[in-house]
Structure 1
């Protein structure tokens, strides 16, 4: 016997820690809840994050393009691939949203789009360390001010490293390296 909507609602909330609102939207369309459960099969992905991408970004594109859920041009497997790239830091969340839109308009996989556009993030710590060295050397007076307590300069340093990398450095790694290097 198929799962009743109320049973599904309870199961999604219990198993995936989803909010009542997210769950109610997901179960409002059988195709949507099936889509969600197909994407979430990857144990790597956070269910709440997957739900957010589906309910906000994917449904946003569907509404904009007047497309029914059962006619989505992006398969659950491809959305899962994209979300794994975001999760692993290969691309940023913002880049992921741009890739999703390109996936909608083409038949390309996330990897094909990332490779053809050259938009992957730099996550190699050695390379980011070189960028941090350069920024800290070029702004040694700001480093001195920061060490004397001008904490607001931390954001400036992150911005300079991002500028130096032309936006490709993984911000989480930049943040981590800068924190280590600028310990007071």
Structure 2
């Protein structure tokens, strides 16, 4: 090993520790001020890393936000899946509503951050690693909705997948549209439930 080189294990631990500090700093600052009120320099300073070091892990503020929100989104999906499993004995759309309740809360916890996160996933580069991870989480949520729609109902997999895309579109609009920002989470969820009900009713009539 050359002089000044850090052993591989220690180097990996140092890298992980820096990432954790950056994530913690970004999470705290975004929660306190919203994404538009934070600079990458502020994140670097709170994380106690050089700005060049920060850019090794996230080259833009948007990527920092996606890193943070991906973790929260993943936790919300896990919580929703557990709630949906507990609600499987109820008629649709209740298990679907149980699934998406934590997701709605996650997106609306800090409105500016949630809206920016979804915008970045939809309109950003899908090959960028953090966005790719976020899109995979979105696909996981959509697959979970599909699975719930096919349980105990006369909805085949193809129709359920189409309805799941409708549901995720409804979530996106209901949680980010400016006209709905004044609503409580419960009001937003009630509106989403009504829209899912309408979509299911229309589908049954067509069948």
With the shorter chain as reference, the TM-score category is under 0.3
Identify which of structures 1 and 2 has the higher relative contact order when contacts are C-alpha pairs closer than 8 Å and 6+ apart.
Answer: 2
TM-score (norm 1): 0.27
TM-score (norm 2): 0.25
More helix by share: 2
